Amino acid sequence: MALIAGAATLVAGTLAAVGVVASSAYHGSAVAKEIPLPPLTSQFQLATTIYASDHKTVLAVLRGPELREPVALSQVSKVMVTAVLDTEDHGFYVHGGFDLRSIARAAVHDVSGQGLQGGSTIAQQLVKQVYLTPSQTLSRKVREVVLADRLEREYTRNEILQAYLNTIYLGNGAYGVQAAAETYFSEPASALDLAQAALLAGMIQDPNGYDPILNPAAARIRRSEVLSRMVYYKDITQAQAAAANLVPLPGAKPPPPSLTGTNNYYVLQVKNELLGPGSPLGSTYAERYAALFEGGLKIYTNMSPTAQAAAEAAVAANTPANNVGYEEGLVSIDPADGAVEALVGGSGAAASQFDVMTQAERQPGSGFKIFTLLAALEQGYSVYDTVDSQSPCYISFPGNNSLLTKPINNDTGAGGGVITVVDATANSVNCAYMRLARQIGLPNVVSMAQRMGVSEVTAADAYIPSMVIGAIAVHPIEMADAYATLADGGVYHAPSFISSIVDRSGAVIYRGDQPGKRIFSTQIAAEADVAFRAVVQYGTGTAAALGNRPVAGKTGTTSHNVDAWFNGFTPQLATTVWMGALKGEIPIVIDGLTVYGANYPASTWHDYSAAVLADQPVLNFPTPKASLVPPAKYVTSPALVAADVRDHNYVAPPAPTPVYVPATTTPSTSTPSASTPPAGATGSTGTPSGSTPPAPVPPAGGAGPAGAQPGA
């Protein structure tokens, strides 16, 4: 109360309403004594920075309405500290937290209705900004003084000055000298020179009025005033002030990285993941939002700058200009751990923040055949088995006879005879796969898709036969991840965008490392690789070939060419490219050319993979163990015979089993025909004669069977 009594004595001679003033002051003092003083550092809101996988490339800076970046007092240039003290509180290290004369002067103006005036110490300014409202009344002024006194009792002068320098608003959303130094000069506070320091110190009084970008004339005058004060206090010479006055003011600079580029589909995915349920940043949306935009986090992603640049270049080069709305998307995954290395979600986040590769549900066409093939291999079938490919195929499925009235056709037209599963995959023969799926059961196809991470497939889809050739819409990233599972030898890793998160103290609060889950054996994966390699060797995906680098994959094209895909992989990388129009079911026709997965998407995949794998070693796919490959057989059974009501060729005459040899060996001098099923092929357990080495070679010249054309 001694403080209040002293203030009242000073103003008694000039105030007729001393009783009112004393009452207001007493009330303000009492309230101030009850206000808690949380740690000064608890008030800071810090921007979050998102980095690429190299931990250096900044992808985006996420912040709330305020930009703060606190630094230690030792990290602020000495001339900046001097400029602030000379301008705002030259006696900071001498006087206490308040000035009785300024209180008396404030009281006079308050009672006269003119409002309070300046004269606050740095401690008082800090209290006003951190603990109090900006209202200009005597009671608030007294609370300010009392809190300033308490502040100076609990903290050292350096701690108070440090907090002040980190708290003051300096325009353009920048709070604190570090944020301001970066905003106006693209430099840290430690590098501020005399001219820069004088400008910022002058802005404390009126950040908007003295904004060097919006009000350069006023900013120059105010900078000159600060320099004059520094000369007055003998901290600089007149010559130094004159030189600083000649320095040009800073101009507008580009905004920090934000959600404006194609690559920021990746940033959008990271942001959505961390704001959504299951986020490591909190159990409620408010907690997650505060942590992400105000928590000062460092988020390290799995985006490879090299891969992302290659992806953007390939998509841009291979997406033709059009006024229909056709666009391409690409997502690329490291099979070893599920890390998403590149993502192009469409035409650009600036135009639309809808990411087709992670958010859209599109029919995958024949790319979905991977699940039928793997389910068949899991049941003991082989890629060397033969199957009837006759088209159209009228097949009854349990619970659904729709194909008896509306049959499935091969994309290349009627017929095809009996072919191997390898050729059925290479040339994307629909009817061969429909019969294979009927033989193994649609529930097993559904199960395989679900185990490999396809979230949109449900048990009810086991009653939809067209699912086999891609009638069920899926997320493109999940197709990429399914092929990544195959590339990793049957181990599934969920797609991962975030590698780790570090909080403002430097502690790691999240790691994205997740153990993989084995879905099928390495032997099954190696056998499937044989079929998917044939797609690129001589089938529908030859445009994706990368010279001597082994490549496997699958094209996909939906009905009426509305969606076109290429899902390709090497042992190091799995990538899916999608092309289509998001606005309605629009067939893709460009310059008179009907688009299939075999042309534009396969070419985009090729260009991207050639660039990103250029410095990577050439790795071979694993070879199936010949002793574990089931004897080749004709795919049939009484149930399939009964269901395939028109064209099942189970009574065809026998023929020798096709013999496939690895490309590194000398081919057999005899080339048995594959046009008819083997002897005894009336059941699913027939055992034909002959051996079946594990890896096929394409026919001479790299061409597929007669009549094969790019298709589904």
C-alpha torsion angle, residues 260, 261, 262, 263 (rounded to 10):
-110
Q: CA triplet 382, 449, 53: central angle to 5 degrees?
A: 110
In 3D space, the residue among 556, 571, 558 whose CA is nearest the CA of residue 601 turns out to be 556
Q: How far apart are CA 498 and CA 127, in angstroms?
A: 39
Mapped onto helix, strand or coil, the DSSP state of residue 47 is coil
In 110-187, the DSSP E strands lie at 174-175
pLDDT of res. 686 = 32
Per-residue tokens: 702: 């790299």
What CATH number does the domain located at 365-702 have? 3.40.710.10
Distance, CA of 73 to chain centre: 36
In 3D space, the residue among 167, 117, 126 whose CA is nearest the CA of residue 144 turns out to be 126
Contacts of 54 (CB under 8 A, 6+ apart): 304, 305
Q: Give the containing element (helix H, strand E) for 299.
A: strand 298-301
Identify whether 392 is preceded by a cis peptide bond (ω within 30 of 0): yes
Which letter does DSSP use for residue 633 in this model?
Answer: -
CATH class of the domain defined by 2-245: mainly alpha
C-alpha torsion angle, residues 504, 508, 509, 511 (rounded to 10):
140
pLDDT of res. 138 = 53
Per-residue tokens: 279: 């986020």
Residue 436 near residue 387 (C-beta atoms within 8 A): yes
Q: Can you tell me which residue has the tokens 């075999």?
A: 598
Contacts of 135 (CB under 8 A, 6+ apart): none
Q: Which amino acid is at 404?
A: L
Parse the chain into domains and list their residue ranges: 2-245, 365-702
In 3D space, the residue among 282, 286, 283, 304 whose CA is nearest the CA of residue 497 turns out to be 304
User: Please, what is the end-to-end C-alpha distance for the chain in angstroms?
Assistant: 88
Residue 219 near residue 171 (C-beta atoms within 8 A): no
Q: How far apart are CA 414 and CA 646, in angstroms?
A: 13
Q: Kindly list the averaged pLDDT for each block of 10 residues, start to end, along the chain of length 712.
A: 42 39 39 52 73 93 76 94 94 68 52 49 77 50 72 84 88 87 93 96 92 93 96 96 96 57 79 91 85 90 95 91 87 97 79 83 95 97 95 93 92 77 95 96 97 94 94 95 97 96 90 92 97 96 95 93 94 95 84 86 96 96 95 93 76 48 39 35 33 34 32 52
pLDDT of res. 683 = 35
Contacts of 663 (CB under 8 A, 6+ apart): 695, 697
Q: Can you tell me which residue has the tokens 């197709």?
A: 479
